[in-house]
Structure 1
Amino acid sequence: MNKNQRPVLYVHGFRGGDYTTEKMVKSGLNYTGKTEFLKALINWRGRITYEGTWTQDEHPIIQVVFQNKWVGENQIAHWLTRLIFDLRNKYQFTEYDAIGHSLGAVSLVIANLFEKHHAYLPKMNHLVLIAGPFNGILGLNDLPNINRFTSSGKPAFMSPTYFRIYMNRNNISTSLSVLNIYGNVGDYSNSDKYVSVTSAKSISYILAARVKEFIDFPVDGSKAEHSLLHNDSDILQKINLFIYAPHASDFS
């Protein structure tokens, strides 16, 4: 196996596409001095096709695109697991990193739950979560300023997805390093307009006590809007440092 390579997956969320992660991928390419990357396209039946190039450097970049952009986190997690297994068979790596936006972030956490009992899967090493609706989405199963954290940091209310992750928290990898980015545009909702701070920050209660490293990174103001978080140059720099130069990371 090629233990010297640790590929990086860029994963979009619900209603997303390659345009969602385009600036993140370009930023990662610029940071690592590359021009080529691999695009993995997954159709509605889970069939995987590839475009582009698997590079031979330490961190090959893989842009993941779901052609059915309307599916939920459980289906996305299932497809991601199949993709990781397929890539592992092709390129023989043992670890990988991942960056997920919105529902892509939730799906990556669910995918990590599978690792403990499936020794054949490569292990997730570094994980970036951007605007993850871990405990509800405004207008669907969350309302502004309703949920709260107890004195222990536990959310008072748990969505079905959050409860599932919570109940399976002992399956989360203890060697994982996590950067959790979430936004607050500063209006009455305390949210990024789609995901409340409480929902995105709820995952810290599960992960912080379990993983090797957990960093909460709140973003405020106009650049904190849900669909802008993955395009802001300052945020992209933080992501690149965390993934490609973790020992040089500065989150002060």
Structure 2
Amino acid sequence: MIKKFTYKLFLTLATSLLLLTSLCLTFPLTTRNHLHKQLLAQPTLYFHGWAGSANSTNHLIAAAAALPQVKKVLTITVTESRQLAINGSWQDNVKYPLIQVLFANNQAEIPQQAHWIDKVVTYLQTNYHIQSFNIVTHSMAGPATFYWAITSYRPTYPQFNKFVAIAGPFDGVIHIDDVPNQNYFQADGLPAYQNAAFKNYYRQRQAFPKNTQVLNIYGNLADGSNSDSLVTNVSARSLGSLVKGQVASYQEITITGPSAQHSRLHNNDQVNHAVDNFLFK
């Protein structure tokens, strides 16, 4: 009787130990697989410009999401209280996750926007363990991203892989501190007129991540203004003066005609095609 009881006890303990061992092995493996897929994913963050909204990046995101292995997974809103509101879910099987970032206060100054960009990037690093990422911007989000990169980016951050600036005012805005056909590039490649913001960017340009690939898209209405109605071509192309020769690559694309107007550039099929080829091909 004692021998029978001992055998049953041994069998129960052995079964429990086997089950426990199985659980211990299976759970870490699942976790490792989950993390591995997240590490392989390369998210792209989309930022709107001054006074912008979801409409500023909806068309860009929809065009990208039509491609294989590309899908919008999250919308991150920086609320009025400066907290992050997260909507959506990040599926492990998406190779190129798209993340739309919105600012409830869409008229904040560049340093404040840069602080929010930093908050979003560090959130994604902490919660999704991203190893690299891309950023697509429209209008003022371009300078805000550049400012963030030269003031806040750290070697411990995920790699800033690709940066797309669409209609970025890097050296002035028409009706504020720029005039069509007034500015020009000098022999040294710098704009002749440099506003305070550009001078600040230029002083700190060496801090911009060296491994980043940069695509600069700007519009020319072909109406004699050499602008997209708000940003002159010289102002937009001044990004090149800041990064040429010190990043992995730099290229410019001009969009011409009525559809190159500042606010129409983010709803432009030529722009979509150029951005998606740069990011995902």
Residue equivalent to 2:191: 155
Task: Provide the aligned C-alpha RMSD in A.
Answer: 1.4
Instruction: Kindly provide the CA deviation profile for residues 91-110 of structure 1, in whole angstroms up to 9, marking residues without a partner as x.
Output: 00121001000011111111
Tell me by how many angstroms 1:45 deviates.
Answer: 3.1
The yes-or-no answer on 1:230 pairing with 2:262 is no
Residue equivalent to 1:250: none
Residue equivalent to 2:106: 69
2:67 counterpart SS class:
helix
2:165 counterpart SS class:
strand
Alpha-carbon distance between aligned partners in 1 of 2:174 and 2:231, rounded to the nearest angstrom: 6
Q: How many residues align?
A: 244
Q: Is the 8 A contact 1:36 1:55 kept in 2?
A: no
Q: Is the 8 A contact 1:112 1:173 kept in 2?
A: yes
Q: Is the 8 A contact 1:74 1:107 kept in 2?
A: yes
Q: Superposed, which structure 2 residues align to 1:108-123 within 5 Å? A: 108-114=145-151, 118-123=154-159
Which residue among 34, 39, 44 is the counterpart of 1:8? 44
The yes-or-no answer on 1:242 pairing with 2:278 is yes
1:51 counterpart SS class:
strand
Alpha-carbon distance between aligned partners in 1 of 2:114 and 2:72, rounded to the nearest angstrom: 26
Alpha-carbon distance between aligned partners in 1 of 2:190 and 2:72, rounded to the nearest angstrom: 43
Unaligned runs of 5+ in 1: 246-252
Q: Is the 8 A contact 1:72 1:103 kept in 2?
A: no
Q: Is the 8 A contact 2:166 2:265 kept in 1?
A: yes
Residue equivalent to 2:164: 128
Alpha-carbon distance between aligned partners in 2 of 1:214 and 1:236, rounded to the nearest angstrom: 18
Bigger shift: residues 118-127 or 66-75: 118-127
Letter in 2 for 1:230: H
Percent of aligned pairs sharing the same letter? 28
The yes-or-no answer on 1:41 pairing with 2:77 is yes
Bigger shift: residues 60-69 or 230-239: 230-239
Instruction: Kindly provide the CA deviation profile for residues 12-44 of structure 1, in whole angstroms up to 9, marking residues without a partner as x.
Output: 000101111000111111113555420000013
Q: Superposed, which structure 2 residues align to 1:1-252 within 5 Å? A: 2-33=38-69, 36-56=72-92, 57-114=94-151, 118-245=154-281
Alpha-carbon distance between aligned partners in 2 of 1:121 and 1:158, rounded to the nearest angstrom: 31
Letter in 1 for 2:163: L
Instruction: Kindly provide the CA deviation profile for residues 130-159 of structure 1, in whole angstroms up to 9, marking residues without a partner as x.
Output: 000000000001111111110121111111
1:45 counterpart SS class:
coil
Letter in 2 for 1:99: V
Alpha-carbon distance between aligned partners in 2 of 1:152 and 1:67, rounded to the nearest angstrom: 40
Alpha-carbon distance between aligned partners in 2 of 1:52 and 1:15, rounded to the nearest angstrom: 24
1:149 counterpart SS class:
coil
1:230 counterpart SS class:
helix
Q: Is the 8 A contact 1:36 1:53 kept in 2?
A: no
Alpha-carbon distance between aligned partners in 1 of 2:78 and 2:249, rounded to the nearest angstrom: 31
Instruction: Kindly provide the CA deviation profile for residues 148-183 of structure 1, in whole angstroms up to 9, marking residues without a partner as x.
Output: 110121111111211111000110111110110000
Higher helix fraction: Structure 1 or Structure 2?
Answer: 2
Alpha-carbon distance between aligned partners in 2 of 1:83 and 1:92, rounded to the nearest angstrom: 13
- Structure 1 pair 32/106, CA: closer, same or farther in 2 (3 Å)? farther
Bigger shift: residues 51-60 or 40-49: 51-60
Tell me by how many angstroms 1:231 deviates.
Answer: 1.1
Tell me by how many angstroms 1:123 deviates.
Answer: 2.1
Alpha-carbon distance between aligned partners in 2 of 1:99 and 1:200, rounded to the nearest angstrom: 15
